Structure formats: C-alpha cells, structure tokens
Amino acid sequence: MASPLKINLINSDPSKCFFANPNEVAREVGRLSWLSKVNGPLPTNGRAMALAKVEKVWVDVKKQIEELKPVAEIKDAINKGFRTMGPLKALFNDDLVAAATRDDIEKIAQKFMKAIPSLAANPVRKSNRGLMGPTLLVNYPRVSANQSEQHAQAIKWTEYAEYGTNQIYTAFAEIFRRVGIKHSCYHVPPSTGLDFVGKVQRAGSDKEFSLNGFEQVEEQLKGIAKSCDKDLDTAGLTHFVTMTQFVNGENMFDFIDSGKFAQMNEPQKINFFRQIGRLAMMDLLLGNGDRFFKLALDDGKWIFDRMADTNFGNAMVNWNPDTNKDENAAIFAIDNLVDPFLTHPEQGQENQKKYCDFIKGLLSNPDFVRVLSDEMFKMIQNALTSADSRGTEAQERQKEAFLKDLSGFGMREIGQGIAEMDTWLEKALIPEWEKEYQPLHKAIDASCSPLMKAVNGQIETYKTVRSK
C-alpha cells in the first residue's frame, strides 16, 4: 500500500485536509464512489494486466477521436475492446449508447483514464477493527496535472458523541501546545463529521457548513461500504459519518510487534511511556475507559475491570528508525469516546454521578498515581498476552521485551506522565478550556447535551478534589 499523506503533527485543523468543506467532501466521496465501482470488476490477481488492457482501449479511442473518425466507428472499437470485460463496460454502456458526438465519447474516456492511476491497489477496504458502524480504510493516489497526491483516510459510521469527544481531545491538545508546555503531548488526527440528519458538515472546533447534496453523498457512501461488504445492511447504518486523516504509523499492538519499539534508545522509550501516562490521565478525566485501562459498572459502582483487555490499538504511533530515528515518537489518540454509560439518555446522569464518585475517591488517594499505573500495567499485559493477540514467535519475543521494559522503568515513567498531566490540567489546561473554548462547549451541548454534561461534571469533580 502506498504511504499515507503526511500531515502537520502540530495542527489538527481539518481545513488542512481534502475534506475541508462540503464541496470538497462531495467531490471526494463522488470520486471514491466511482473508483469503488471500477475497482469491483477488477481481478484480485492480474490487476495490473487488466488495467493495462483498459488503458490501451481508451488510448486507442483518444487517437481515433483526434483522427476525427466517425462516432459509430469509435463506438464499435470500444465495444470490441471491452468484449471480454462486460462488468466494466456496464459502468458506461448507457452513456456510450447515448453519446452523439466525439466529445461525448471523450468525456467517458477521460473519466476512466483519470481513475486508472488510482487503482493500482484496492482504493478502499473494510477494517476488521471497531465496535460501532463499519470503518472503511481509504488509500489511493490521485494524479492530476502531473502531480500525485495520496488520499488516505478512515470513513466511519458512528454517533455524534464520538466526534464530539474527538473535538474535546483535540482542544486539550491545542491548549497544551499553545500555553507552551515543553513536553510531548498526544495528537489527534484531523477529522470532520457529516451529520446527515442535521444536514451539516461539522469541521474544526466550532464551524459548521451546510452539506450540499447530502442525500447523494450519503447514498454514495453507503454504496462504497456495500462494495466492501456485500452482506452489509446499509439500512441499519447510523446517519453520522466521520472522515479522519490517516496517521503515518501503526497502532500500538503493531508498533510493538514490528520491533520498532525495541529499536528506540532509552530516552525515546522514557518519552514514549510518559506520553502514555499523560494520555491515560486525560482518558480518566474524560471517562474514556477503553484505551490503556478498562472501566466497568459493577453492582452500581465504577471499577477497573481487570478481567478485560485494553483496546491498546486506539493509540497510534508515528516513529520509524529509518526516517526519524533521532526524534521522539508521536502518539495519536484515535477512536476517542466518552463511555456510553455516561452519556446514556436515561441512565447517563446517574451513571455519571457514580463516575464522579469513582474519580473523586481515586484522586483523593495519596497513592493515586501508583494505583492508576498499576491497573494500567495489569490490563496492558492482559491485552498483549491474550490468545487473540498471539502472533509469530518473533512477535511474541517483541511483546516480552516490551513488557520487560514496561515492568521496569516503564511503570515509573508512566506514573511520571500521569503526575505531570495531573498538574498541567489543574494549573493551565482546564482554566484555558473553560475560558477559550465556550463556542465548542455550546456546539457540543447543542448536538449531544449528555456528553457535555458528563465532561463538565467530571471536570468540576476534578477541580473540587484538587482545590483541597
């Protein structure tokens, strides 16, 4: 697969992406819809040969057009060229029958010719990960005017609560950098939300754009998903879709399995573990018990679920010994979601009150940092040693080496990261969040009031504990 488009690690603004506004979204989805249709009939084996055959037909057609051959003669040549490629011909047959001029035929040819460079590999596939709606992984080169731009993104059917949570994580990361804290902070990939009920595109922290042609965009997206999974029931899909820029790197599981963690020097490993601790502190504050630790409601009380595996894959790592071996790794927080029990329309308020009691008790514990880091160790260990995560002998050795570092200096550094983020939240991040991000508060509250109430309630609990 081609390398994803590189992004500015400091700026998570969707305006930097090719889905910055509704018109660009419509163009991107329309382009991807066409690519998925052309891709469907292409063979898994012999793809290059099939594409070369298609390209030859259209190159010959272009030559005939330049020679001003009769329309009927050009049509005959196309029919002969696609004689053994019926499914591909079906994509343009109606347009070909209706074509009355050479210009009409040239438009058909140009549409195909533009698609061919983007189809060297399957441009879209369904991810096997994810707990909510389907997630499509998109990666293809778009060639125009002798330039090639890699379009790489994840398209996910979800609920507004996940998009809103993403925006909150993004806001805190922005504040972290803006106030000048001289340490590494997590990143959040740029994303945009397509709300097909509200008929708006949500982008950035407080911007909305009217989504033109929203019905067509939604149907095209469903068609793309269906092309990846013939058995998918598109009628059951949610009406909120996120488009998220791909991250250069691997999820935490794959990063460890690949041996890249082992190639880091000790200062880089220390930074890596501290970043995990900092992000874990944010997860605890916001009620996201799915990444480095698992939370559960048990007999009316919130607990750490030691029997569960963490979803370690919800952290992506950008670091490569061949390209940035002298730099620290960048850790990306993906698939961010405040626990649905906290935002439940009926039981959410009561569950959130119990969660505030949970974090109040935890934060009041003088050994809070040790308790949280110990719980993280148990659950990360579970995730890496579970039967579902077993890999090759080489991968298992990499996991063992990682766990050795984790149980040694890693636990100390994770604890240091937790303590640092705890201090920064109290002294700088929360005050700025409350002062500078009111437009985002209002936007989230208008779209998902339980989410904003949960986050604000947990922040107030945190402030109360830390003010004593």
CB 149 within 8 A of CB 432: no
- Cite the DSSP H helix spans in 365-448: 368-385, 393-405, 411-424, 430-436, 438-447
Cα distance between residue 126 and residue 452, in whole Å: 31
The yes-or-no verdict on residue 325 having pLDDT over 70 is yes
The string of DSSP letters for 213-254 reads THHHHHHHHHHHHHHH-TT--GGG--SEEEEEEPPSSEEHHH
Q: How many CA atoms lie within 13 A of 161 on its CB side?
A: 22
> Measured at the alpha carbon of residue 223, what is the angle toward residues 220 and 227, in degrees to the nearest 5?
140
Q: Per the structure block, which two tokens stand in for 330?
A: 């960048």
The pTM assigned to this predicted structure is: 0.89
Q: What is the mean pLDDT of the chain?
A: 90
Instruction: Return the pLDDT at 5.
Output: 27
The yes-or-no verdict on residue 7 having pLDDT over 70 is no
The yes-or-no verdict on residue 302 having pLDDT over 50 is yes
Instruction: Return the pLDDT at 127.
Output: 85
Residue 6 corresponds to which amino acid? K
The yes-or-no verdict on residue 406 having pLDDT over 60 is yes
Instruction: Kindly state the average pLDDT of the residues 438-466.
Output: 94
**133 confidence band (pLDDT: 50, 70, 90):** confident
The string of pLDDT tens digits covering residues 352-387 is 999 999 999 999 999 999 999 999 999 999 989 987
Instruction: Kindly state the average pLDDT of the residues 4-26.
Output: 54
Percent of the chain with pLDDT over 70: 94
**14 confidence band (pLDDT: 50, 70, 90):** very low
Cα distance between residue 398 and residue 382, in whole Å: 15
Instruction: Return the pLDDT at 131.
Output: 56
Cα distance between residue 445 and residue 19, in whole Å: 24
Of 108-112, 198-202, 459-463, the range with the lowest mean pLDDT is 198-202
CB 74 within 8 A of CB 148: no
Q: Work out the burial of residue 52: count CB atoms within 10 Å of its CB; fewer than 13 is exposed, 13-18 middle, 19 or more buried.
A: exposed
Instruction: Return the pLDDT at 129.
Output: 64
Instruction: Return the pLDDT at 332.
Output: 95
The yes-or-no verdict on residue 204 having pLDDT over 70 is no
CB 279 within 8 A of CB 336: no
**13 confidence band (pLDDT: 50, 70, 90):** very low
- Cite the DSSP H helix spans in 229-344: 252-257, 266-286
- Paired residues of 333 in beta bridges: 315
CB 182 within 8 A of CB 462: no
SS3 state at 131: coil
The string of pLDDT tens digits covering residues 20-50 is 788 888 999 999 999 999 999 998 889 999 9
CB 317 within 8 A of CB 258: no
Instruction: Choose among 411, 113, 79, 455: nearest CA to 277.
Output: 411
Residue 443 corresponds to which amino acid? A
Cα distance between residue 430 and residue 428, in whole Å: 6
